[in-house]
Amino acid sequence: MVKVIGVAEGDFQTPDAFDGSGCEGDWDKQSLDGTIWTIDHTFSGSAFAGVVRFDGASATYNGFTTALTVLDGKKLFWYRAETARVTQRTFYACTRPAAGQIDGAVVSCNMMNGCSTGTFHAVKLERRAGEAEASGLTELAEFPFPQAITANVRVDAARNLAVLARYDDGLYTMGLDAGPPYKITQLGHGVTEESVAMTTSEIYNDVKLLEAGGKHWALMASSAHGVVVWDVSDPVHPTLVAHARDKHNVHTLAMVGTTGYLGDLDIQGLAIVDFSDPSAPKDLGEFVVPEAAMDGSVFVHDLYVEPGRAYLDYWGAGMVIADVSDPAAPKELGRLTYGRMTNHSVWVTTINGRKIALTGDEDFTAHLREVDVTDPANPRVIGEFGQDRPQVSAHNVLIDGDIAYVAYYQDGIRVLRLSDTAPPVQIGWFNSWSPTRDRGTNFYEGGIGVDKIGSTVYLADIERGLIVLSVP
C-alpha cells in the first residue's frame, strides 16, 4: 500500500508526499480519459462519498477542477486546492484490486485543523451491464431546466398540475397535458426569499401538496425558513403566505391530513405541525432520539407517516419507529440498526396483512432494505436490493401496493416488486442518467424525487428536470 510521507498541508500538493514504491504502474494505459469514478473516502471514524472525472490530462473532483493531476506510467495523482468553500484534498492511487476499481491514499487538509490521512476506494461509474435505456417504462415527456437542481415533485392530478422543489431556484408549477402528445408547460415560479434578499443561501429540498379552506397549498421544505407555505390556487401566480418553524432548516416533510411531520435539522429530529389553517401553522410537538444530543451528525433525514405512527429514516441512528398518536408526547417503539446508517428514505405498505417497509440509505454502499415492521419493537429484514452496486446510491422511495418506485440517482428509477417473504425483485427501470451525457461532477446526480398517479410516474431528475413516464 502507498505510504504517506508528507506531514503538512503544503506537502500534499505534489506526488512527492507519497511513497508509491509498492504500488502498481501503467496508469497511463488505463483508458481513463472521459471516465467517471465514484469514491468512498475512509478516515478514522468516518466515511463519505465523492466523485472524480478524468478528461485528458486533467481531472474534476466533486465539481472542482484539480490544481494538479499527474498521470504517467508510474503514478496517478490528483490534488484539489483549498478555497473558502472546500478543503484541500489529495489522492494517490496505488492498486487496481479488480477491473474498474482503484484503491489508494487520500489526505484532507485545512488551515484550521491540519491534515488527516485516510484511504479511498473508487469504482468506475457505468450503467448496469446489458441494460438498455428503459424496460417496462416509457417516456412520455420531459421538461429541462438550464440550471439548478430539481429535488422533488408532487402532482395534483385533478388539476393536471405538478409542483417542483428546485433547490435555490424555488418553486415551479407545471401544467400537464396528456395529449397526445404529452406536453409539460411552465405556469408559475416562486423564488426563494434568500435569493431575493441575497443575504444567505436557501434551498427547497421537498414539496407536499395540501387542500384546505377551499384553497390549494404547496408546502416547501426550506433550508432557511422551515416550511414555506405557498398558495398555488392560481398556479400561474403562486403566493407566499406563511412559514412554519421559520429560520429552521427543514429537510423533508410528510403529511397525514392537515398534520405535517417535519425532518427538522435544527433540532436533529421530528417536528409536528398543524396546517389545518395553512396561513397560520401551529407547533404540536417534537421527537428527538437521545443520541442526537451527543452527536451533531444524527438527524431525521426523511420519513413516512401513517395515522399514529412515524417511520423515521434517522441518519446515524437507523430506521426509528415512533408512536405519534399524541403529537405532544411521541415515543419510540423500536428501531432497525446496522453498520454505516446513512438512512434517507422510507415508505410502508401492507402485503398479505403484514406491514412492510422499504428503507434506503444515501451514500457510497447505499442500497435498499425490505423490512417487516408488523411488530414495531422487532423490525425484521426480509431482504435487500442494490448491494451489488455500492458506487450508486438509492434516494426517494414510493410504494403503490406491492410495487416500489425508487429514484436511484445514476440508476435513474428502479421498479421493484415486494413480498412479505422474499427480497425485492426488479421488474422495470428507466436510465435517466448517462455517463456520456451527464456531468459526472457530483456523487448525487440523476433520479432524485418520484411521484406516481395511476399509470403515470413523475421523476425529478437533478440534471434533466421533470420526466414523465408511463407504466403498464
Q: Tens-digit pLDDT profile for the chain (472 aa)?
A: 899 999 999 999 999 999 999 999 999 999 999 999 999 999 997 999 999 999 988 999 999 999 999 999 999 999 999 998 899 999 999 999 999 999 999 999 988 889 999 999 999 999 999 999 999 999 999 999 998 899 999 999 999 999 999 999 999 999 999 999 999 999 999 999 998 877 778 999 999 999 999 999 999 999 999 999 999 999 999 999 999 999 999 999 999 999 999 999 999 999 999 999 999 999 999 999 999 999 999 999 999 999 999 999 999 999 999 999 999 999 999 999 999 999 999 999 999 999 999 999 999 999 999 999 999 999 999 999 999 999 999 999 999 999 999 999 999 999 999 999 999 999 999 999 987 766 789 999 999 999 999 999 999 999 999 999 999 8
Considering the entire predicted model, what is its pTM? 0.96
Do residues 168 and 214 lie in contact, with contact meaning Cβ atoms separated by under 8 Å? no
User: What single string gives the DSSP state of each residue in 123-134?
Assistant: EE--PPTT--SE
Give the pLDDT of residue 438: 62
Cα–Cα distances in Å, from 192 out to 37, 143, 206? 33, 21, 13
Q: Has domain 134-470 been given CATH number 1.10.10.10?
A: no
In the chain the first and final C-alpha atoms are separated, in Å, by 51
The residue to which cell 423500536 is assigned: 334
3-state secondary structure of 27: helix
CA distance 90 to 77: 8
Q: Which residues contact 247 (CB under 8 A, 6 or more apart)?
A: 224, 225, 226
User: What single string gives the DSSP state of each residue in 315-339?
Assistant: ETTEEEEEE-SSTTS-EEEEEE--S
* Cα 454–chain centre separation: 25
CA distance 260 to 453: 21
* Cα 441–chain centre separation: 15
Domain ranges of the chain: 3-124, 134-470
Give the pLDDT of residue 298: 97
Tell me the residue length of the chain: 472
Q: How many CB atoms lie within 10 A of CB 224?
A: 21
Query: 3-124, what's its fold?
Result: Lipocalin (2.40.128)
CA distance 151 to 166: 5
Beta-bridge mates of residue 206:
221
The residue to which cell 435505456 is assigned: 133
